[in-house]
């Protein structure tokens, strides 16, 4: 939910048409000086705004999708997403500048936000079970009753769910 809610306002802003022609700047660090050359308010809005465009994406992505829980994957996903945004802005001719500097700063924002949330996605990844021989994708849910204090159950079975076995695990094994 946070991934969606944090990204929606930026998507609306990024795709709101402006009364200008389309333009593209593919030279790295060419637009950035012009962002900073204006008054402080405009510079702050440009830099902070571009940092925040993919911040929710970088913050929540590794918590929502365990497979994305690495800086390299977050970086790759942020670059791809930002390139997609800039490409759509140009293709739709909505009066926005499509710039490689936007891609760089959007990506930086996603990676910085991922660094802020790292403690939670690393903790989530450590709670995932080790792959077993019968079902590598089955999570070990915390037991709510019947397992004793701190007990865990492991559920394993075939992909079709035909047979299931429950095995009590002690916390001492972890």
Q: Are residues 118 and 138 in the same domain?
A: no
Contacts of 11 (CB under 8 A, 6+ apart): none
What pTM did the predictor assign?
Answer: 0.68
The pLDDT tens digits of the residues spanning 99-140 come to 999 999 999 999 999 999 999 888 776 776 555 455 455 444
- Asked if residue 115 and residue 34 are part of one domain, the reply reads yes
Q: Do 123 and 140 share a domain, yes or no?
A: no
3-class secondary-structure state, position 16 = coil
Q: How big, in percent rounded to 5, are the helix, strand and coil portions of the chain?
A: 55, 10, 35
Within this chain, do residues 27 and 68 fall inside the same structural domain, yes or no? Answer: yes
Q: Is the domain of 122 the same as that of 146?
A: no
Do residue 111 and residue 149 come from a single domain?
Answer: no
Q: How far apart are the C-alpha atoms of 64 and 93, rounded to whole Å?
A: 33
- Please check whether residues 156 and 108 belong to one and the same domain: no
| Three-class DSSP category at 137 | coil
pLDDT in tens, 3-13: 777 777 777 77
Q: Is 3 exposed, middle or buried (0-12, 13-18, 19+ CB in 10 A)?
A: middle
Count of structural domains within the chain:
2
Do 90 and 153 share a structural domain? no
Domain of 29, in residue numbers: 2-127
């Amino acid at each position: 939910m946070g991934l969606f809610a944090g990204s929606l306002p930026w998507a609306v802003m990024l795709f709101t048409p402006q009364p200008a022609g389309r333009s593209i700047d593919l030279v790295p660090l060419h637009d950035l000086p012009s962002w900073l050359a204006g008054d402080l308010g405009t510079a702050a809005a440009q830099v902070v705004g571009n940092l925040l465009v993919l911040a929710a994406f970088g913050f929540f992505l590794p918590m929502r999708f365990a497979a994305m829980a690495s800086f390299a994957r977050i970086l790759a996903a942020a670059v791809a997403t930002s390139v997609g945004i800039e490409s759509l802005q140009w293709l739709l001719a909505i009066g926005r500048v499509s710039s490689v500097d936007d891609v760089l700063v959007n990506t930086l924002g996603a990676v910085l936000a991922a660094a802020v949330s790292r403690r939670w996605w690393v903790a989530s990844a450590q709670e995932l079970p080790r792959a077993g021989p019968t079902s590598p994708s089955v999570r070990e849910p915390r037991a709510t009753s019947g397992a004793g204090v701190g007990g865990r159950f492991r559920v394993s079975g075939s992909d079709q769910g035909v047979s299931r076995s429950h095995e009590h695990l002690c916390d001492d094994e972890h």
